[in-house]
A and B are shown apart, each in its own frame.
Chain A
Amino acid sequence: MERRELELYIHIPFCVKKCNYCDFLSFGTEDERLAETPCHPTRKLPVPEVYVTRLCREIQWYGAKEKFKHRPVISVFFGGGTPSLLSEEQIFRVMAAIRENFLLCRGAEITMEANPGTLTPGKLNQMRFCGINRLSLGLQSALDSELKVLGRIHSYGAFLQSFKWARDAGFKNINVDLITAVPEQTMASYQKSLEQVTALGPEHISAYSLIIEPGTPFETLEAQGKLILPDEDEEREMYRLTRQFLSGMGYERYEISNYARPGFECRHNTGYWQGKDYLGVGLGASSLIDGCRFSNTADMKDYLELETGSGNWYSESERLEQEAQMEEFMFLGLRMVRGVSEKEFYRKFGKKLMAVYGGVVRKNEARRLLARKNGRILLTERGLDLANIVESEFLL
């Protein structure tokens, strides 16, 4: 009987409006791509009922399988999109479907991403009631001018209100998302965001450096020369500042862009970097199960109409051979500040890490991009800045 731990990811691909930098699979309320589907978000019910129903059916389908039935689910993550657009009743339905069909562990970490402007005290109470115990708030910046540039729907004031309501509802584990290298951002304005956020004392902070993604409004603006972005040097200074400032406030960096009070590292995300199995449900969601990586269709019409797991249900599916698994173990594991364990590598693959990667490790040690300490291989400070260069060398 399969008893290995499992993580669940639930995708809610709806937003009030897409942000200017976002390339995630998500639809704004008035997205034309939904016109051909029976899925029509409304102001009153931003997440269409048909979607939630389909999602619950998918959860049921997997839960009925022998393969998943007995696996303890140690974390659930509602990502998006904007999962906090779910109505109180919808939150209840999805959580009930998970509990009924999976073995949800006592003490599992259950996170919901939420955006200011979509939360009410009532909804937050409902989340708590349903067992959601971690909230990830998308703030991005404490300056209204920067929020506007990013195309966010909320003000800093709205965030403060949401944060307070969340604490009042009893959330004791809150993450706040920030973005660095925002157009027109300066060191001073960024420091101000850090100061204001830390003053609220969330348990966890994610600080992402802005990436101009293809197909986003930012890409178009950049091509037209209309985005004034901080240069590489400034961006790295912001990165340094994040680390120093947050360290001083009691937040330790545990991954390239993630900082937490001791004991509050996100368990769900840590699972991704450690190669744990995760099952993604919802439109376009990805999974890693028993060395097989697959993704659901990203086509809404197909998602609603096809049988779960039938012909075109999966948009991609790939079996990872041992070589690919070793590569992932390295390039994902190195994102963690503590790096990867040589013992763990041996336990997983039956080969010594240094026997497989000795050359790459030594070369990068010599370049001072990698360090080898206490049976672990980890990126140095410079190595973290240049992680792609090091990681690409671990491809066999």
Chain B
Amino acid sequence: MAADQSKIRNFCIVAHIDHGKSTLADRIIEMTGTLTSREMQAQVLDNMDLERERGITIKSQAVRIVYKAKDGNEYIFNLIDTPGHVDFNYEVSRSLAACDGAILVVDAAQGIEAQTLANVYLALDHNLDVMPVINKIDLPSAEPERVKNEIEDVIGIEAEDAPLISAKNGINIEEVLEQVIKKIPAPEGDPEAPLKALIFDSVYDSYKGVIVFFRVKEGTIRKGTRARMMATGAEIETVEVGYFGAGQFIPCDELSAGMVGYMTASIKNLKDTRVGDTITDADDPCDEALPGYKKVNPMVYCGMYPADGAKYPDLRDALEKLQLNDASLQFEAETSVALGFGFRCGFLGLLHLEIIQERLEREYNLDLVTTAPSVIYKVHKTNGDVIDLTNPTNLPDPSEIEYMEEPIVSAEIMVTTDFIGQIMELCQERRGVYLGMEYMEETRALLKYDLPLNEIIYDFFDALKSRSRGYASFDYEMKGYVRSELCKLDILINREEVDALSFIVHKDSAYERGRKMCERLKEEIPRHLFEIPIQAAIGSKIIARETVRAMRKDVLAKCYGGDISRKRKLLEKQKEGKKRMRQVGNVEVPQKAFMAVLKLDDK
């Protein structure tokens, strides 16, 4: 279908988490009849089970919608859904680059939140026209007028005629669509110019291979076009081009400037087609690539081990498959004395880590032991070498270390004024450096802090939520490295050092962390036939100790005719429980104990 550029709108929806982004997308798709209501499952664009359950968008998705407007014309809308979480910031930025405008969804009750700001600024950075929409107006606590003012005051965009909608109940959705036509510009670009297309996502499909999602900025791509990826240099033959129906791919002859679609080609490795890269025609290349491409690097690392050592090859296969789908996931083989063979995996952030972990467990049926996450420390050695440390176990001997550096992020925390005290205290405890505070309005403020990344990868989100009764929101970006007084804390179980439990900690919090760690492990490790000391140590110095007392009794008092089946089940459970244990010396440690370090905040 050769489309008239003026009848195309490419846009995305941005919002703070839970403000209703995916629900609005659902309504738009439903309204325009792209899916019949029978096919409609809540949140069509979030098509991974995990996304739907958690109510978040992990991977970008796109859908093409045909809308018959009040002016009598048919418009093609390409709606590109973007991940909402800070871990996926780069992916968000690439999705935005594929759009000409953005719908900003703001919750009529909660108003602007930290990620609202972050996403709007990101959209403005990409020169997108931002069109606000006020959602959840049917809530009793909705204050649309206040929120409108907030949008105008804080962000500085016109909000007077922002549609007041309820995406959940389908109120006023048509108004949104009409405004898209008026407020979001049609794409530009010359279909005859050399090809220039931006990759904003790619997925792996077991039938079609790698499927690349892109926005054509200039020129035209057809079946048979010899495409070149400008950053990676890979050259491939285009097998199929097409656009996105809801939930399916619809092939077409060509895609020209202004259009959004996909291509398949004989690509085996997703690494050849990186998000952000520019596709051009190898036979008629453009002069320069589109700006903004960067390689994303993991920020958080952890060890992942199969609970059952025999499943090591399965874990490797699963990681390889996930990597096809998610180029930002990195992994390499490692060995732990306590956990055997596994992988050190790199992630964009803690959410990314959790998602990968859950996908491995659900989609690949693997039972995993995950070690405490670690950031990348820069270790400056006395001999002048600098190493990037991702596994605490590999920390060189202290005598070889000149100094160490740790990554710092700049964080913005939006909080109601009632909780400012608690949140500042939390940031203080996490070694935050206070930068400033801005009042958004009378009751809400934006706190700015520099925080060490290793202080927020454990349980910072949970602590933030619990100390603000859920009212604080949080956003951060990498700032750089600073020199820091760090040390390695080791854990000894029954006098044996457990490598998988070691972690890097600031000297000032070492004692406290060590004590809590021992307490937690005491709760996690079941009583054995003998007494088990649990110790925390820095080098050879023990700084904390707890003891798991020997078990004295494990016997069923009664066992008669009617009890035997139950007795068998009890014994089977006991035996099964043992399988979920890790042997450390002669101590059996439950798998979840290795995650104990994640939950040390007890407030």
Given A328-B568, A389-B574, A285-B559 contact (CB < 8 Å): no
For B578, the chain A residues whose CB sits under 8 A away are 392
Given A280-B562, A284-B562, A392-B574, A232-B553 contact (CB < 8 Å): yes
For B570, the chain A residues whose CB sits under 8 A away are 388
For A288, the chain B residues whose CB sits under 8 A away are 561, 564
- The answer, yes or no, to whether A297 is at the interface (CB within 8 Å) is no
Interface residues of B in 198-213 (CB under 8 A from A): none
Number of B interface residues in the complex (CB < 8 A): 23
Given A388-B571, A391-B571, A256-B557 contact (CB < 8 Å): yes
- The answer, yes or no, to whether A331 is at the interface (CB within 8 Å) is yes
For A331, the chain B residues whose CB sits under 8 A away are 567-568, 571
A273 CA to B558 CA, complexed, in Å: 11
Interface residues of B in 201-234 (CB under 8 A from A): none
- The answer, yes or no, to whether A393 is at the interface (CB within 8 Å) is yes
For A285, the chain B residues whose CB sits under 8 A away are 562
Interface residues of A in 309-335 (CB under 8 A from B): 316, 318, 327-328, 331-332, 335
Contact A9 B575 (CB under 8 A): no
Closest chain A CB from B67 CB (angstroms) = 57
Given A293-B565, A331-B571, A272-B560 contact (CB < 8 Å): yes
Given A331-B567, A367-B529, A387-B556 contact (CB < 8 Å): yes
- The answer, yes or no, to whether A84 is at the interface (CB within 8 Å) is no
Contact B554 A386 (CB under 8 A): yes
Closest chain A CB from B341 CB (angstroms) = 26
A233 CA to B561 CA, complexed, in Å: 29
For A367, the chain B residues whose CB sits under 8 A away are 529
Contact B565 A295 (CB under 8 A): yes
- The answer, yes or no, to whether A236 is at the interface (CB within 8 Å) is yes
A56 CA to B508 CA, complexed, in Å: 77
A388 CA to B564 CA, complexed, in Å: 13
Contact A209 B565 (CB under 8 A): no
Closest chain A CB from B337 CB (angstroms) = 23
Q: Is the interface of A mostly helix, strand, loop or mixed?
A: mixed
- The answer, yes or no, to whether A163 is at the interface (CB within 8 Å) is no
A236 CA to B550 CA, complexed, in Å: 13
A278 CA to B560 CA, complexed, in Å: 11
Contact B562 A232 (CB under 8 A): no
> Which residue of A288, A293, A391, A393 has the most chain B CB atoms within 10 A of its CB atom?
A391
- The answer, yes or no, to whether A195 is at the interface (CB within 8 Å) is no
Q: Choose among A209, A272, A386, A392 the residue that contacts B564 (Cβ–Cβ < 8 A).
A: A272
Contact B553 A9 (CB under 8 A): no
Contact A385 B553 (CB under 8 A): yes
Contact A293 B564 (CB under 8 A): yes
Interface residues of B in 552-589 (CB under 8 A from A): 552-562, 564-565, 567-568, 570-572, 574-575, 578
- The answer, yes or no, to whether B139 is at the interface (CB within 8 Å) is no
- The answer, yes or no, to whether A357 is at the interface (CB within 8 Å) is no
A374 CA to B574 CA, complexed, in Å: 30
- The answer, yes or no, to whether A220 is at the interface (CB within 8 Å) is no
Q: Choose among A211, A236, A318 the residue that contacts B552 (Cβ–Cβ < 8 A).
A: A236
- The answer, yes or no, to whether A257 is at the interface (CB within 8 Å) is yes
Q: Choose among B556, B562, B572 the residue that contacts A295 (Cβ–Cβ < 8 A).
A: B562
Closest chain B CB from A374 CB (angstroms) = 24
A284 CA to B566 CA, complexed, in Å: 14
A280 CA to B563 CA, complexed, in Å: 13
Contact B574 A388 (CB under 8 A): yes
Closest chain A CB from B301 CB (angstroms) = 38
Task: For the complex of A and B, list the 8 residue pairs with the smallest distance between their C-beta atoms, beginning with the closest.
Answer: A392-B574, A387-B555, A392-B571, A208-B557, A209-B557, A286-B562, A388-B554, A392-B575
B-to-A contact residues, CB < 8 Å: 529, 551-562, 564-565, 567-568, 570-572, 574-575, 578
* 6 A-B pairs (CB sep. < 8 Å): A79-B560, A272-B561, A316-B565, A335-B559, A389-B554, A395-B572
